[in-house]
Amino acid sequence: MNVKLRVWRQKNSETEGSFENYEARDLNPNMSFLEMLDVVNEDLTNDGSEPIAFAHDCREGICGTCSCMIDGKPHGPETGVATCQTYMRSFKDGDTITVEPFKANAFPIVKDLVTDRKAFDKIQRSGGFVSVRTGAAPDANAIPIGKDIADLAMDAAACIGCGACVAACKNSSAMLFVSAKAGQLNLLPQGQPEKDTRVLNMVATMDEAGFGNCTNQYECSAACPKLISEEFISKLNRDYMSASVKKLFKAKAL
């Protein structure tokens, strides 16, 4: 199959970018989208041209590195998959495909399709952990956890931090990411002692990073490659309200 590409090319965050047109010929419909970009880059390199910069790592839908907009949708036309799991059979022979980076103020462009998502790392460092002594793994049954709670925590833990939720949101909100990372820990007994501090710190760091507000239109969960539910946002809002009230009463008591 043959397709035409409109690819966003930008040297760095300080320069202006523009779309460049390329042709990808003789493609196997079963190759992944990233493999298609590999083919295009090989042709560009052989012609002495600058290859398209794009991020990738595991190529198994686990790391969340391969994030880009394909025809205006984070990760492409399919549901519940990352860019590396999008295959050329999802497109038709002769299609023109537009490829862009995730665009958000908190995700500055590094080059072409590569964005800097260190803002997510800052949010994670501000509270996405449990302060416990490390050492040998505890017995699996030392702290009984109900299956419904364990399953819900695992659903939240499925978040790969790719940023599709931010790219899909008109406000570039990171609420789905934050709610998943905080919710994963807040649901478990080990995360309860720091629950209030965790929520307040992660939300504050999210705001400082320049992410927008959530307006509950749920593009985030629709675009999420792991289909993280928007219900985690509701839980984050409740936890944040509770933690804020407790902090206020503590301050008045001093």
Q: Comparing C-alpha atoms, which of 232, 42, 212, 98 is closest to residue 152?
A: 232
pTM of the shown model: 0.93
pLDDT-based confidence at residue 138 (cuts at 50, 70, 90): confident
The pLDDT score that the predictor gives to residue 142 is: 82
Q: Where are the domains of the chain?
A: 3-110, 118-253
Q: Does the pLDDT at position 55 exceed 90?
A: yes
Tell me what pLDDT residue 141 has. Answer: 78
The pLDDT of residue 102: 96
Report pLDDT digits (tens) over 143-155. 889 999 999 999 9
Categorize the per-residue pLDDT at 253 as very low, low, confident or very high, splitting at 50, 70 and 90. confident
List pLDDT tens digits, range 154-193: 999 999 999 999 999 999 999 999 999 999 999 999 899 9
Q: Does domain 118-253 fall into CATH 1.10.1060.10?
A: yes
Q: What is the DSSP string of the chain?
A: --EEEEEEE-SSTTS--EEEEEEE-S--TTSBHHHHHHHHHHHHHHTTPPPPP---S-SSSSS-----EETTEET-SSSS--GGG-BGGGS-TT-EEEEE---BTTB-EEETTEE--HHHHHHHHHHSS-----SSPPPTTSS---HHHHHHHHHHHT-----HHHHHSTT-B-HHHHHHHHHHHHTSGGGSTTHHHHHHHHHHHHHHTT-B---S--HHHHH-TT---THHHHHHHHHHHHHHHHHHHHHHH-
Strand-pair partners of 69: 74, 100
The pLDDT value recorded for residue 169 is 97
pLDDT at 222: 96
Tell me the per-residue pLDDT of 94-130, one tens digit each, with 9 for 90 and over: 999 999 999 999 999 999 999 999 999 999 999 999 8
Supply 49's token pair.
Answer: 């041209």
Percent of the chain with pLDDT over 90: 90
Pairing mode, strands 109-111 and 73-74: unpaired
Domain 3-110 in CATH 3.10.129.10: no
d(CA 86, CA 76): 7
